Structure 1
Amino acid sequence: MRRRHRRLQGNPDLDITAFLNLMIILVPVLLLGMVFTQVRMIELDFPGMPAGEAPEPEAFQLEVVLTPSGMEVADSERGLIRAFPNADGQDFDGVQSLLAQIKQRMPEKRDLILRVAPSVDYQTLVTTMDHVRSRPAVVVASKVEAELFPDVSLADAPEGYEVQLAEQGGQP
């Protein structure tokens, strides 16, 4: 009996067209998706001074007190500058414009203490921090973020503290 030997056939060409089509679509979609998944971080400092160091007597320490009843802008030594009661929501733009006026008078000042009541929700805290750090401005026909007080320190508001119902204080 005679044996038939199979002839060795060459490997057929691989058809990778479907794989290449998938890569042509998948790579740009993944690259575009990376832009939208960036994580934002907010750097915080905690108020206080190193041990053994005394504060300057004439130091202007700006504070923003954030409670569910509203916001107040104050100097920690001299008292209330202006109150923004919460009538129909927090007045972020009013606080931002007041801080812009203070920044014009003291351009070298960069720090601010944000005192937050425990009952304030996280989104309100972050929105307040965004508004006290910078404000929109137009420079040479371009909209940019102008710096207000980027060095924000967090502290607790006094327990049971409520913003006055009537706006108090004067212009800075």
Structure 2
Amino acid sequence: MRRRHRRAASSPELDITAFLNLMIVLVPVLLLGMVFSQIRTIELQFPGMESGEAPSAEQLRLVVTIIPGGIEVSDSERGVIRTLPLREGEQDFAGLLETLKSIKARVPDKTDVVLEVGPEIDYQTLVTAMDTVRSYPAVVAASKIEAELFPDVALADAMEGT
């Protein structure tokens, strides 16, 4: 008679060295990538009034209109305050900032502005305009801060022919 010998059944060892090497490289790369992918949001208010409601004549309604030909700053009482034509083919955001700073000095409690944008204006110009009307860098007590101009920005379409 023959005897059958059973071999000792053993499971093979898992070789996870390659997987661990991948994790050692992948985890720090993903953690570093998280720091650089931050999203900034800007809160906007869209203009609109209830039916039958009209603004009072005493209330200043500051409007900044951006069209391909330049920038126009106006209000509801006096009309156009200042027109800023293109400077060297670019929008004059420095002139806009100075104009808004002088308006803020005269009306310090005003925080809202309507930003009218023409359909031909590109996205980067819109974002730069929004940043310009919201705040500007200032130095106070040897510290650089963002001074507030008109942080409540409402967007509107610029009327054709402006």
- What TM-score bracket applies, with the shorter chain setting the length? 0.7 to 0.9
Paired letter, 1:39? I
Q: Distance in 2 between matches of 1:22 and 1:159?
A: 58
Q: How does 1:155-170 map to 2 (within 5 A)?
A: 155-161=156-162
Per chain length, whose mean CA-contact separation is higher, i.e. which structure has more relative contact order (CA < 8 Å, sep 6+)? 1
Paired letter, 1:53? E
What runs of 5+ residues in structure 2 fail to find an aligned partner? none
Q: Distance in 2 between matches of 1:22 and 1:138?
A: 48
Q: Percent identity at matched positions?
A: 65
Counterpart residue number, 1:131: 132
What runs of 5+ residues in structure 1 fail to find an aligned partner? 162-172
Deviation at 1:128, TM superposition (A): 0.9
Q: Distance in 2 between matches of 1:109 and 1:22?
A: 56
Q: Distance in 2 between matches of 1:145 and 1:115?
A: 24
Question: What SS does the aligned partner of 2:74 have?
Answer: strand
Paired letter, 1:41? T
TM-score, normalised by the number of residues in structure 2:
0.85
CA RMSD of superposed structures (Å): 2.1
TM-score, normalised by the number of residues in structure 1:
0.80
Q: Distance in 1 between matches of 2:133 and 2:118?
A: 17
Give the number of equivalent residue pairs.
Answer: 161
Question: What SS does the aligned partner of 2:19 have?
Answer: helix
**Equivalent residues of 2:57, 2:77 under 8 A apart:** no
Question: What SS does the aligned partner of 1:158 have?
Answer: coil
